A and B are shown apart, each in its own frame.
Chain A
Amino acid sequence: AQSVAQPEDQVNVAEGNPLTVKCTYSVSGNPYLFWYVQYPNRGLQFLLKYITGDNLVKGSYGFEAEFNKSQTSFHLKKPSALVSDSALYFCAVRDTNTGFQKLVFGTGTRLLVSP
């Protein structure tokens, strides 16, 4: 079965510093990977995806993610964190066992960016 793991419940970073939110995956076949962000009292917002092609994927709000097949990782990164980036981040993988593409989510990582 497809799964993703987010090993950190929380990541703390100072504004202006680079941030990394970790995700590792386990899939059969080619991985289709996603990052979503959840702000307080809001739904899940799509940030970026990896389907195929370049290992470095660029997404919304200056975020990017690096796909690493040998380490089965898909870490989310941003060169310079903003206080407004503070939110809950979810990594997800598309279930390829059916054609209807349900998402399997990780447990989420809370990012806190301090001023």
Chain B
Amino acid sequence: EPEVTQTPSHQVTQMGQEVILRCVPISNHLYFYWYRQILGQKVEFLVSFYNNEISEKSEIFDDQFSVERPDGSNFTLKIRSTKLEDSAMYFCASRGPDRALNEQFFGPGTRLTVL
């Protein structure tokens, strides 16, 4: 069964450093998302991406964040200058082209720890 994959599973970085979180969505999917979950809190939407551009972003997704689909398979989230409060589990998700199939499929997540 196809699945969303994410690398790395755990990233530790120093405050102020840049990090890139990588995701490989399901191959025929067209809609891509990043969510995050701060420890003990609920899952929050960050950004959605379709047709090679951001379609929607939350107020969390400020200028420090960017997303890219550099090739036909990878979908990346970059944080330019990490802050302590960026420590969280980051989930990538993708959704297929059929608008009637609404469910998103999530990857296993990347745990980001900012020291």
Contacts and interface: CB of A to CB of B under 8 A. Distances in A.
Contacts of B50: 100
A101 B105 contact: no
Contact of B91 (A43, A102, A104): A43
Given A44-B91, A100-B48, A105-B42, A32 B102 contact: yes
Interface stretch (A20-28, A45-53, A62-70, A78-86): A45-53
Given A43-B109, A44-B91, A51-B102, A102 B43 contact: no
Interface string B92-105: 01010000101111
Nearest to B104: A103
- For the residues of B in contact with A, the DSSP-based class is strand
B39 to A, nearest CB: 12
A112 B6 CA distance: 28
A70 B31 CA distance: 33
A41 interface: yes
B18 interface: no
Contacts of B31: 100-101
Interface residues of A, number: 26
B103 A49 contact: yes
A1 B48 CA distance: 18
B91 A34 contact: no
Interface in B32-80: 33, 35, 41-45, 48, 50, 55-56
Looking at A45, A98, A105, A107, the one whose CB has the most chain B CB atoms below 10 A away is: A105
Interface of B: 4, 6, 31, 33, 35, 41-45, 48, 50, 55-56, 91, 93, 95, 100, 102-109
Q: Please give me the 9 A-B residue pairs with the lowest Cβ-Cβ distance, nearest first.
A: A44-B106, A43-B108, A105-B43, A43-B106, A100-B55, A100-B48, A102-B45, A107-B42, A46-B103
